[in-house]
């Protein structure tokens, strides 16, 4: 049994002592004999261990009829969130690779400068608007926050590449990026009209600096033209 399951005899004895997996039968000499139902239970134990549950948690789940399904469903949701986060990180890595290929190293000063620009955004909010934005942020779950953190630099980098390539603002690929930017902004503000207006004003006045921080473009004409391009793509959605 231990060899077939890839476990040590000591582990099986430990499971028996905990009451987690007791053999259904014993031989005449007193040795443990595991039946097919025992093997199924062992499979469930190993699966739940791989999913991160403790032995105590596993015992509680397996001893309560119907308890396994909600535990597995919750774990699947957690794994889905991890997959989305990994995908967001992968997109960011691809963006950095794109910068290495087209614009040289993505220096540390770029994200730091970008954070400096975004910190100015608070100056565009009244005290009440700042409170509303904080309240909305608290209502967002971890998945939404991770998605926003991973999505906005990717979208802006995509638009920068479209601008660099001279892609028309009504091109389907540009429209898709602009729509994602709209969704991102709506998620950030919760659809609050006053907050949307504050975001728009901030980017009208600081969009060029934000794009320069993101792209590291040494040419002011490039980053100025880039923000105009982003604005046109955003406005083209109507």
User: From CA 140, how far away is CA 156, in angstroms rounded?
Assistant: 22
Rounded to whole angstroms, how far apart are CA atoms 210 and 187?
20
In 10 A of CB 106, how many CB atoms?
A: 18
Cβ atoms of residues 28 and 36 within 8 Å? no
Q: Of 1, 80, 90, which Cα lies nearest the Cα of 46?
A: 1
Domain boundaries, given as residue ranges, for the chain:
2-64, 88-235
Per the confidence metrics, is the pTM higher than 0.75? Answer: no
Determine whether domain 2-64 maps to CATH 1.10.1660.10: yes
Per-residue pLDDT at 168: 92
Residue that the structure tokens 């004409």 belong to: 221
* pLDDT tens, N- to C-terminus, the chain (238 residues): 554 455 677 777 777 777 777 776 676 666 777 678 878 888 888 888 888 888 888 888 888 888 888 888 888 888 876 776 576 566 556 656 665 665 544 444 444 444 445 556 777 788 888 888 888 888 888 888 778 877 877 787 788 888 888 899 888 888 888 888 888 888 888 889 998 888 878 877 777 776 666 555 545 555 567 778 888 887 877 6
pLDDT at 107: 43
Q: Kindly write down the DSSP assignment for every residue of 169-218, as one continuous string.
A: TTSHHHHHHHHHHHHHHHHHHTT-HHHHHHHHHHHHHHHHHHHHHHH--S
């Amino acid at each position: 049994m231990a060899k077939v399951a890839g476990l040590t005899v000591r582990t099986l004895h430990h499971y028996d002592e905990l009451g987690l997996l007791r053999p259904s039968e014993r031989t005449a000499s007193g040795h443990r004999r595991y039946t097919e139902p025992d093997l199924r239970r062992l499979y469930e134990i190993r699966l739940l261990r791989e999913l991160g549950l403790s032995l105590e948690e596993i015992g509680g789940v397996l001893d309560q009829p119907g308890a396994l399904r909600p535990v597995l469903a919750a774990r699947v949701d957690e794994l889905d969130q991890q997959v989305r986060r990994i995908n967001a990180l992968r997109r960011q890595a691809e963006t950095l690779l794109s910068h290495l290929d087209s614009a040289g190293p993505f220096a540390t000063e770029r994200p730091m400068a970008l954070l400096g620009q975004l910190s100015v955004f608070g100056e565009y909010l009244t005290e009440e608007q700042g409170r509303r934005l904080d309240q909305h942020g608290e209502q967002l779950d971890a998945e939404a926050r991770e998605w926003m953190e991973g999505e906005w630099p990717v979208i802006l980098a995509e638009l920068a590449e479209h601008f660099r390539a001279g892609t028309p603002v009504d091109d389907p690929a540009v429209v898709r990026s602009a729509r994602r930017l709209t969704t991102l902004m709506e998620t950030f503000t919760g659809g609050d009209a006053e907050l949307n207006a504050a975001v728009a004003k901030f980017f009208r006045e600081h969009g060029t600096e934000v794009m320069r921080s993101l792209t590291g473009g040494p040419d002011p004409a490039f980053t100025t033209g880039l923000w105009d391009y982003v604005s046109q793509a955003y406005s083209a959605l109507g």
